[in-house]
């Protein structure tokens, strides 16, 4: 079946509400959930941001640029979002930084979120054991090296993605992972959107496929869709390509019980035409980006729908 972006999203909400199973969850809120769903979005149709409720585009941009910077500092996200590190200015990551999510992670400084998304994208830590002929005990979670010499280096996954798109566009390894099993205990929150792969077609259209293990369909997914669409647009701009499709493969896809009424409200609304993403000509390098480089032309939307974020 062929759907426009927002119609497909609204159908997804309806499908979960009608066919999902009620389940307990880590937060204690309870969800209605389904498994192994997906959405495929034609990025040429318009920029995929919801119009049946307002989504804060500037905040979406700020978080993505925060990832691209490789930062794990929540106050840096506040600076990108609000222009200040003032503790009174909150971000969507503030509950994690304030230790209210039940995580066992111990921050090193105020606002430290540990080795979360962007840190893994730009600085995946690799330990190489030297002069050592017995690798027993070096699996996930192992820290003992039995006196062997070890050397730590870092891999910039995002820089490698850009390089491969430019020099080896048919490579089947143009991907990034945020899910680092050996460092989950060093993160304030394990990644939900955890794996992404890019494909540059022969007619130079860049497509993106992302896997998301846990999908808050009402609050989280409306943020993740424009975020990964923007990432695809940025990479396409940097390498001189057009955009193709964004596909999101979803694991546990759920609506929290305290979002049911909000979902009904959203489903009663009619979508507006999608806006167009406008990117400044200044965007030529992933390491030189500003929130002001990105605007939406023609974003007409219904009012925001407030809902509690379970954590």
Name the residues annotated as catalytic.
192
Tell me the angle at which helices 221-239 and 157-167 cross, rounded to the nearest 10 degrees: 50
The pair of three-digit structure tokens given for residue 15, joined into one six-digit string:
């499908």
Q: How far apart are CA 282 and CA 277, in angstroms?
A: 15
Q: Are 116 and 189 in contact (CB under 8 A)?
A: yes
- The three-class DSSP label of residue 67 is helix
> Which single residue is written with the structure tokens 């730590």?
152
- Which residue in 123, 13, 10, 15 sits closest to 69, CA to CA? 123
Residues 4, 259: Cα–Cα separation, whole Å: 24
55: tokens are: 């989504």
């Amino acid at each position: 079946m062929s759907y426009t972006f927002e119609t497909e999203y609204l159908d997804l909400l309806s499908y979960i509400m009608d066919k999902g199973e009620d389940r307990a969850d880590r937060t204690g809120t309870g969800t209605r959930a389904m498994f192994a769903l997906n959405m495929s979005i034609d990025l040429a149709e318009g920029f995929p941001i919801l119009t049946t409720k307002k989504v804060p585009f500037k905040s979406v941009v700020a978080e993505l640029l925060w990832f691209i910077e490789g930062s794990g500092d929540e106050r840096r996200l506040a600076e990108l979002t609000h222009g200040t590190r003032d503790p009174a200015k909150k971000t969507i990551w503030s509950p994690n930084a304030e230790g209210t999510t039940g995580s066992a992670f111990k921050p090193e400084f105020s606002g430290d979120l540990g080795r979360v998304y962007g840190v893994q994208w730009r600085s995946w830590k690799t330990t190489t054991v030297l002069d050592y002929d017995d690798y027993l005990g070096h699996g996930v979670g192992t820290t003992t090296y039995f006196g062997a010499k070890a050397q730590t280096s870092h891999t910039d996954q995002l820089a490698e993605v850009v390089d491969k798109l430019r020099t080896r566009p048919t490579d089947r390894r143009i991907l990034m992972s945020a899910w680092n099993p050996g460092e989950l205990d060093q993160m304030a929150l394990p990644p939900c959107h955890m794996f992404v792969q890019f494909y540059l077609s022969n007619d130079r259209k860049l497509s993106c496929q992302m896997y998301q293990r846990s999908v808050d369909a009402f609050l989280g997914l409306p943020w993740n869709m424009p975020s990964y669409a923007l990432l695809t647009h940025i990479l396409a701009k940097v390498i001189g390509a057009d955009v193709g499709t964004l596909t999101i493969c979803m694991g546990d896809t759920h609506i929290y019980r305290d979002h049911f009424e909000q979902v009904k409200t959203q489903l009663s609304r009619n979508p507006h035409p999608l806006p167009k993403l406008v990117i400044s000509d200044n965007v030529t390098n992933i390491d030189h980006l500003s929130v002001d480089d990105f605007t939406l032309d023609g974003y007409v939307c219904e009012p925001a729908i407030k809902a509690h974020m379970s954590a």
